Amino acid sequence: MKDWWIYKGEGQAEKRLDRLAVHRPDWRVFDGEIDEDYTVPVLSEADQERGAGYIAEAPEIDLVNTALLLRRPLLVTGVPGVGKSTLAHSIAEDLGLGPVLRWTVTSRTTLRDGLYRYDALRRLEDANLRRLSAPGRRRREGSLLRRLEGARWRRIEWEPGAEGTSGIGRYLQLGPLGTAFVPTARPRVLLIDEIDKGDIDLPGDLLTVLEEGHFDIPELVRMSDDSPQVSVSTDDQSGLARITNGRVRCHAFPIVVLTSNGEREFPPAFLRRCIRLNLPLPNEDKLHRILVRRIGQEAADAARAEGGVIDTFLKRRSSGELATDQLLNAVQLRLAGAWTAPGDLGRLAEATMHRLSGPDAQ
The better pLDDT of the pair 200, 360 is held by: 200
Helices (H), 201-283: 202-212, 218-221, 268-272
Task: Give residue 5's pLDDT.
Answer: 98
pLDDT at residue 10 greater than cutoff 60: yes
pLDDT at residue 146 greater than cutoff 80: no
Question: Whole-model pTM?
Answer: 0.87
pLDDT in tens, 162-175: 344 348 999 999 99
CA distance 257 to 64: 9
Strand order, beta sheet including 116-118: 116-118, 172-174, 229-233, 240-244, 247-249, 214-216
CA distance 268 to 14: 36
Report how far Cα 258 is from the mean position of its chain's Cα atoms: 9
What Cα–Cα distance (Å) separates residue 166 from each residue in 219, 228, 243, 298, 341? Answer: 12, 9, 11, 60, 67
pLDDT at residue 279 greater than cutoff 70: yes
Tell me the average pLDDT across 300-314: 95
Whether residue 150 contacts residue 185, with contact meaning beta carbons closer than 8 Å, is answered with: no
Backbone angles phi, psi at 162, to 5 degrees: -60, -30
Helices (H), 23-155: 45-52, 58-70, 84-95, 111-115, 120-133
Tell me the average pLDDT across 34-47: 94
CA distance 323 to 266: 25
DSSP string, 169-184: GGGEEE-HHHHHTS--
DSSP string, 249-265: E-SSPPEEEEEE-SSS-
